């Protein structure tokens, strides 16, 4: 027993190091790629909507690519669904408790409804698959459907941003020497791969030693780890009373996770269904629906503290159920 616990601590430490490396490498990659794009005269608008937006979903993307390559499909699915659940219920819940979160019209009318569709899309694809004589879960055709929706989303987002420059943040992306940008990109890419490998391998070992499924590890430890950048950014912004960026960032991250990351993962390797996948997908859709509802009924069009409390209560009840029904 003592040896088992000792091994568990070592594996947990390796996973923690992997998570830190993954998050930091994503930052390095975004900084280097943004600086490189700036040197080639690419506008801040395009950098923000492509390089930076993709960079925030890079931890989930890398974990999923490693999981798919290793055949750990449960982890690939639950990493995305779990991250979206934590993004919505925990990150927005905690942020709203600190300071009410204001919203932009675009977020209320487009991003949040698309977040609802994201959860429903996973359900629909999984339900339709058996009807077409294919296994339950997200198959390659489903992955392609998700990617097509993502391409449409990016097109509409770019067009909206160009037509509504008044809604954009005024911050610019700093330049740096070419050699430094290239080094940051290379180190970031290597760190992402190494960190992703450490996380996936450690997650599988922890699941085996604890006798729980890869799905539970993916929904909790891995999902929380890959969502840490969003949690830190939103919490700091709330303390500075600048929390209006939180819902937009979370909604955007959730859209990227399902339509891009999950779409790419399923296109490369079909992702079979797992126990309680429907419940997890419903929670993804319900989270965006609750946030949209709370914002709509608020006369200031913001997510108030009571809304944050309700989100955290719903998540607590869900997590308790998932951990007791494995």
Confidence at residue 81, expressed as pLDDT on a 0 to 100 scale? 94
Greatest mean pLDDT range, 20-29, 30-39, 287-296: 287-296
Confidence at residue 185, expressed as pLDDT on a 0 to 100 scale? 86
* pLDDT class of 284 with cuts at 50, 70, 90: very high
Taking a C-beta distance cutoff of 8 angstroms, is the pair 234, 249 a contact? yes
Distance CA 4, CA 10 (A): 10
Please compute the mean of the pLDDT values over residues 87-93 and round it to a whole number. 93
* pLDDT class of 45 with cuts at 50, 70, 90: low
Distances (CA, A) of 3 to 8, 24, 140, 203: 9, 32, 42, 18
Query: What mean pLDDT is reported for the chain?
Result: 84
Place of tokens 């840490």: 228
Give the pair of three-digit tokens for residue 16: 């923690």
Give the pair of three-digit tokens for residue 45: 């608008």
Distance CA 73, CA 77 (A): 6
How many C-beta atoms surround the C-beta of residue 311 within 10 A?
Answer: 25
Distances (CA, A) of 1 to 7, 213, 264: 10, 21, 41
Give the pair of three-digit tokens for residue 320: 């308790």
Distance CA 212, CA 140 (A): 28
Q: Measure CA 192 to chain center.
A: 15
Confidence at residue 30, expressed as pLDDT on a 0 to 100 scale? 78
Convert the pLDDT of each residue in 183-201 to its tens digit.
Answer: 988 898 888 888 888 888 8
* pLDDT class of 169 with cuts at 50, 70, 90: low
Confidence at residue 116, expressed as pLDDT on a 0 to 100 scale? 94
With a cut of 80, say whether residue 73 has pLDDT above it. yes
Taking a C-beta distance cutoff of 8 angstroms, is the pair 62, 192 a contact? yes
Q: Measure CA 144 to chain center.
A: 19
With a cut of 80, say whether residue 214 has pLDDT above it. no
Q: Which domains does the chain have, with CATH numbers?
A: 2-324 (1.20.1420.30)
Convert the pLDDT of each residue in 292-303 to its tens digit.
Answer: 999 999 988 899
Confidence at residue 121, expressed as pLDDT on a 0 to 100 scale? 95
Q: Measure CA 220 to chain center.
A: 13
Confidence at residue 204, expressed as pLDDT on a 0 to 100 scale? 80
* pLDDT class of 46 with cuts at 50, 70, 90: low
Confidence at residue 311, expressed as pLDDT on a 0 to 100 scale? 97
Kind of pairing between the strands at 302-303 and 137-138: unpaired
With a cut of 70, say whether residue 33 has pLDDT above it. yes
Confidence at residue 140, expressed as pLDDT on a 0 to 100 scale? 92
Please compute the mean of the pLDDT values over residues 319-323 and round it to a whole number. 90
Distance CA 72, CA 79 (A): 11
Confidence at residue 279, expressed as pLDDT on a 0 to 100 scale? 94
Give the pair of three-digit tokens for residue 3: 């040896």
């Amino acid at each position: 027993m003592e040896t088992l616990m000792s091994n568990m601590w070592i594996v947990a430490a390796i996973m923690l190091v992997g998570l830190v490396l993954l998050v930091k490498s994503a930052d390095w990659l975004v900084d280097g790629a943004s600086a490189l794009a700036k040197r080639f005269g690419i506008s801040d608008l395009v950098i923000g909507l492509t390089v930076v937006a993709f960079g925030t979903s890079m931890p989930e993307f890398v974990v999923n690519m490693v999981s798919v390559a290793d055949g750990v499909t449960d982890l690939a699915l639950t990493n995305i669904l779990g991250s979206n659940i934590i993004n919505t219920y925990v990150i927005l819940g905690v942020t709203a408790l600190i300071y009410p979160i204001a919203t932009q019209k675009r977020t209320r009318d487009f991003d949040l409804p698309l977040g609802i569709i994201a959860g429903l899309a996973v359900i629909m694809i999984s339900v339709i698959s058996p009807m077409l004589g294919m296994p339950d879960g997200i198959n390659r055709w489903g992955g392609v459907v998700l990617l097509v929706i993502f391409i449409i989303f990016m097109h509409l987002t770019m067009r909206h941003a160009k037509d509504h420059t008044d809604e954009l943040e005024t911050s610019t992306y700093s330049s740096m020497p070419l050699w430094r940008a290239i080094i940051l990109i290379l180190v970031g890419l290597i760190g992402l791969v190494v960190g992703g490998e450490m996380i996936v391998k450690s997650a599988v070992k922890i699941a085996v030693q604890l006798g729980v499924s890869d799905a539970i590890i993916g929904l909790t430890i891995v999902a929380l780890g890959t969502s840490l950048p969003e949690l830190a950014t939103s919490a700091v912004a709330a303390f500075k009373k600048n929390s209006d960026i939180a819902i937009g960032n979370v909604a955007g991250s959730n859209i990227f996770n399902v339509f891009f990351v999950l779409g790419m993962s399923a296109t490369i390797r079909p992702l079979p269904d797992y126990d309680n996948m429907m419940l997890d997908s419903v929670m993804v859709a319900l989270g965006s629906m609750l946030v949209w509802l709370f914002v709509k009924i608020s006369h200031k069009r913001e997510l108030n503290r009571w809304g944050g409390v309700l989100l955290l209560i719903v998540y607590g009840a869900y997590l308790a159920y998932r951990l007791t029904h494995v």
